[in-house]
Structure 1
């Protein structure tokens, strides 16, 4: 039997960073995001060699172990091994089953599109299908969060796991004790289409590790850095404003909120912006963009720009000359899904 799964990547529209502990535990966090038609994929099948096999096919890395052999959940395959280990421990009584686990993604790690967390969701979804585990959407997202943040000790927030699991436009609320509320939004068709036509997604060519930025954000909260905390308060409120703009179809208000969120986000940690990002942003604004934001923690990865659709061609041509690459995308309503090949 073969099981395949996929989970969508996301664009963080507003509130990103307020889903990171300890801020969300103390103050509560609000995030607005939307998933796009780029995915992380997982494949689980019986191992013909009776071993535990792991392969990240897009980066050309693979490892194989005897099923009785202990293996550390680290290195380039740590997500695959971490999910496998947690599933075996929690649902299979600790027994290591001989399986082949393979993954690939439409976006590189460090892209700012939630690619690592989305991959964990795709893996959890695939295992749930393979072993017929009774996991609903909240359970899949929460398990993926626990594996990544607690088992593997990878720094980050909570929004990516829930976005990848649920799909679509969502307003999310994060509170202490891992309490999460996902509010799916009913977005009018014309608003959906206008936003797709207005957004340009540009990859800077720099994949960054978000952990250093997130660690600095967390330290700022613990140490009572008021400027950083005030910036997070602003981001939280802008997520609420973004939700209202999306539901009302206020495109100009949405653009203002996006830009205000980016300006506030830069005050959360010193490494969120850099000269490369600032130069690309300058070129974009000189060629028709009227709002900008780095997707994810910052420091690199993908940048989002809003422009009038009639300025889109000129903007994309100018950005193409900056050395990165543009990504065509559409929003998607579907979250994580899995299927069997007998």
Structure 2
């Protein structure tokens, strides 16, 4: 028996950074974004002993311990350790992790891995969790138990899936508003958006710490309020299907977000973005906390090919993608049912054997 959990990665359009305390507690934060067809996967294979073996397929790393030990965070796949502890796993198992994007890509990878882990473990234990409980538990384990700096949006985006406008007022006060967007608007939006990997990765916790420090000094307060206001404006324009305005608002949002911390952008990213604008893009933004990862750019259909060519010419790596409207999922597969020695097929004219 194999228990699998899958959660989608996300792109945020506006409001990034306003979901981080203390701003979201004192002022209220707002995020608009969607999940995409890039995923974090967790596979659990139960064992008959007390051994827990964790495999990171992306990093070719294996960590072993057993259920009789206290779960200690030692920097080696601590996300799994914390999830096992939170779900009170007492049986031995092998855990396999794989993600479609690297850490620091700006797509919410670590939080999405946590959601996939908890989803698979809940399925294994037969525990029913509603989406709010699952997202809040993922936040608690990552932000409070593991002390990893960050906001709220990634856990909720990965859990709920689809297009959402999410409002944050601190722990246990998060409201997810699913957006009912017409299919033709979603298709047009996806066609006009380019997702470009900058080739850099970032440590989001360092950028978030700098952002919080600046906020506590009241340096970027106006910029953060503007980023929040833009999230509301983007929601309205997207629901109405006014994608030209939506594209221009992305540009306003990126300029406002860069005022929140000097670590959010780099000269290389600024050059890539400016070249996209020169080629005809209306706007865009770096995904995640900043510093590297994926750049999302909106461009009208008739200049899309020019923007794509220009971004690749200056070092960007375009990625195929699409929107994903489903959130976290889990299922069980029993591979032993198909443990055949051979396949036999009888057709007119003879019988064929295919050894396996």
TM norm structure 1 = 0.95
Q: Which runs of 5+ in 1 are unaligned?
A: none
Q: Deviations over 1:239-295 (max 9, x none)?
A: 100110110001111012111110100010111011011111122122221212001
Q: Deviations over 1:123-143 (max 9, x none)?
A: 111111110112110011000
Q: Which runs of 5+ in 2 are unaligned?
A: 335-356
How far apart, CA to CA, are the structure 2 residues paired with 1:101 and 1:32? 33
Residue 330, structure 1, aligned to residue 298, structure 2: no
Aligned length: 334
Q: In the TM superposition, what is the alpha-carbon distance from 1:16 to its structure 2 partner? A: 0.8
- Does the 8 Å contact 1:18/1:236 carry over to 2? yes
- Does the 8 Å contact 1:47/1:53 carry over to 2? no
Which residue does the alignment assign to 2:338?
none
How far apart, CA to CA, are the structure 2 residues paired with 1:257 and 1:318? 22
- Does the 8 Å contact 2:42/2:120 carry over to 1? yes
How far apart, CA to CA, are the structure 1 residues paired with 2:218 and 2:309? 44
User: In the alignment, which of 259, 271, 277 is matched to residue 269 of structure 2?
Assistant: 277
How far apart, CA to CA, are the structure 2 residues paired with 1:128 and 1:166? 16
Residue 224, structure 1, aligned to residue 218, structure 2: yes
How far apart, CA to CA, are the structure 2 residues paired with 1:60 and 1:49? 24
Report the 3-state secondary structure (helix = DSSP H, G, I; strand = E; otherwise coil) of the residue aligned with 2:101. Answer: coil
Query: Pairwise mapping of residues 20-99 of structure 1 onto structure 2 (< 5 A)?
Result: 20-47=20-47, 50-88=50-88, 96-99=90-93
Residue 3, structure 1, aligned to residue 40, structure 2: no
Which residue does the alignment assign to 2:233?
241
Which residue does the alignment assign to 1:261?
253
- Does the 8 Å contact 1:54/1:81 carry over to 2? no
- Does the 8 Å contact 2:224/2:260 carry over to 1? yes
What is the Cα-based RMSD across aligned positions, in Å? 1.3
Q: In the TM superposition, what is the alpha-carbon distance from 1:49 to its structure 2 partner? A: 5.6
How far apart, CA to CA, are the structure 1 residues paired with 2:204 and 2:129? 29
How far apart, CA to CA, are the structure 1 residues paired with 2:36 and 2:317? 17
User: Larger Rg: 1 or 2?
Assistant: 2
Residue 109, structure 1, aligned to residue 141, structure 2: no
Structure 1 residue runs of 4 or more that deviate by more than 3 Å after TM superposition = none
How far apart, CA to CA, are the structure 1 residues paired with 2:17 and 2:142? 17
- Does the 8 Å contact 1:36/1:329 carry over to 2? yes
Which residue does the alignment assign to 1:142?
136
